[in-house]
A and B are shown apart, each in its own frame.
Chain A
Amino acid sequence: MIKCRTIFQGKGIGKALVSHIPISFFGGVDPNTGVVVERGHPLFGKSIKGKVLIFPTGKGSTVGSYILLQLSKNGKAPAAIVCKEAEAIVAVGAIMGEIPMVDNPDAFDFTSGQQIIVDGFNDAIIID
């Protein structure tokens, strides 16, 4: 079990989708499909829907929160978000979209495809 800090409460279970570089949700993720559309991004072409999306921090445009809200309303949101360090735009997006989110994990060593439980009630991440 990895200790972390809860940004938005809730439990999210899914396969890990890991980016080692920051994500900009505006221009980075299509709100209608949940697919990463930023060219050259390591997650380009992958869907974040239902995944535990793991990335160091947010970057880019300040409308990113609305993209997370749209993803949630469109049923394309990740099951949970894990950041090394939360920043305001992704954090507010998670709160508005009611997406479980944690940050500051004791260890930031995840691999895409791992089955992960984000327990945003108990400040914990469990790798199955």
Chain B
Amino acid sequence: MAIMQGGDGPVKQKAMEILVALGEIFNADKLIDIESTQISGVSYKTIGDAGLHWIESMLSEKVVIPSTLNPTGIDLRLWRQMGIAEEFARKQMQIIDVYSKLGVKTLCSCTPYLSGHSPKFKDHIAWSESSAVCYANSILGARTNREGGPSALASALIGKTANYGYHLDENRQPTMCIDLDVHLHEESDFSALGISIGKKVNNGVPYFTGIKNPSVDSLKSLAAALAASGGVALYHVESVTPESNSIKVGGIETISFTSDELVSSYDSLSTIQSGPVDLVTIGCPHASLSEMKKIATLVKGKKIAKNTKFWIFTSVGVKLMAERFGYLRDIVKAGGEVYTDCCMVVAPIEQLDFKTMAVNSGKAAVYSPSASNVEVVFGTTGRCVDIAVKGFA
């Protein structure tokens, strides 16, 4: 076709080459139109100079469908307060500037679906950001593969993706049934479940039974954890997720998930169990308004310990709403700091002299020891707030 021969310029040719290569690898029959993209590969920490030069090489074109951006490494306004080095911030701003010129909306959040970028049932999309992929497929019933940042950008420039994988009905069937023997309450419980099951199901599709009336926040935590510990792009929950009634559940392996396994998953996510904690972070994926409310309620009237930072990461929209509803005031009054556009996973935490971080996110607990060189304490939101107030676990 003309684009592949360079008829539409070298950038579209390069983008098309990536899409066609993926189509060939996965035996796609054609390229299909898509509604939107979510683009990862934004933090200078994750893409480096090599990534910056690569996206710069796309600058003669613009995206042709609605596209939003993943978190960066810094709060775009409050990065000095975070203690980020000038040089890192400068590189980060350069990256944001390039994406902005490409026509990508610089929402800088991993939860675009909580900020107005919310595909509808059966929409074909090309999203990266593994937690958002898993949420969009599972909870919204949209259809996307686990795109890498570059292939999502390629799709944004062309408006298409290769028709394979989770775009096809047959690949949306469950491969393993997990029957819960334990009642889960906290978002971190769902994180611990997702971490444990992600390792067992790898790139498969888990089908959960025995989860009663989960909150959206819990489903968000489960999506992130499954996608971090395995390569899960889609899960179903009996009577909860939109495709759970139309899938075939017979003839697949069934395993149970017990309270013992919940406890051992919690234990496995902490690299240390006790001691001083100099950073407590919440907001992986970005905190929702209800999580902001929960945190505000937990910290109201308390004071964060002198040598401990309490950082909450969210999107610009949720922060504005939290301010209007008074949650932000309660958090800030207690000594907490609310940052947007970034998170504890992709910010350069390793350059900020933190030794130990407490988190309620399984995804953050998985990545932070190696990506940010910190010890991790994993616990419920309540325990995280307790640790922030006491200064130790």
Contacts and interface: CB of A to CB of B under 8 A. Distances in A.
Interface stretch (B125-133, B212-220, B324-332): B125-133
A39 B369 contact: yes
A66 B231 contact: no
Interface stretch (B142-150, B185-193, B247-255, B382-390): B142-150
Interface string A26-61: 111001000001110000000000000000011111
Interface in A82-111: 85-89, 91-93, 95-96, 103
B241 interface: no
B46 interface: yes
Interface residues of B, number: 41
A81 B126 CA distance: 25
B47 A61 contact: no
B283 interface: no
Interface stretch (B17-25, B79-87, B174-182): B17-25
Contacts of A103: 25
A88 B151 contact: yes
Interface string A60-76: 11111111011011100
A106 B230 CA distance: 25
A63 B148 CA distance: 6
A80 interface: no
Nearest to B55: A66
A92 B231 CA distance: 16
B203 interface: yes
B4 interface: no
B50 A69 contact: yes
B228 A61 contact: yes
Nearest to B38: A62
A88 B127 CA distance: 12
A7 interface: yes
B370 interface: yes
Contacts of A67: 46
A39 B375 CA distance: 11
B150 A92 contact: yes
Given A66-B50, A87-B146, A60 B21 contact: no
A113 interface: no
Of residues A61, A64, A66, which shows the largest number of chain B Cβ atoms within 10 Å of its Cβ? Answer: A61
Contact of B367 (A22, A27, A62, A93): A27
A37 B150 contact: no
A63 B228 contact: no
Given A7-B25, A60-B228, A31 B48 contact: yes
B130 A61 contact: yes
Contact of B51 (A66, A88, A91): A66
Contacts of B47: 63, 66, 69-70
A27 B370 contact: yes
Interface in B21-55: 21-22, 25-26, 40-41, 43, 46-51, 54
B202 A66 contact: no
B271 A39 contact: yes
B65 interface: no
Contacts of A31: 48, 50
Contacts of A66: 41, 46-48, 50-51, 54, 148-150
B39 to A, nearest CB: 9
Contacts of A69: 47, 50-51, 54, 150
A70 B202 CA distance: 26
Contacts of B21: 7, 91-92, 95
18 contacts: A7-B21, A37-B370, A39-B369, A57-B202, A58-B231, A59-B203, A59-B231, A60-B231, A60-B366, A60-B367, A62-B133, A62-B149, A63-B41, A65-B150, A69-B150, A70-B50, A73-B48, A88-B151
Closest 6 CB pairs of A and B: A65-B148, A62-B128, A27-B371, A73-B50, A89-B148, A66-B47
Interface of A: 7, 22, 26-28, 31, 37-39, 57-67, 69-70, 72-74, 85-89, 91-93, 95-96, 103
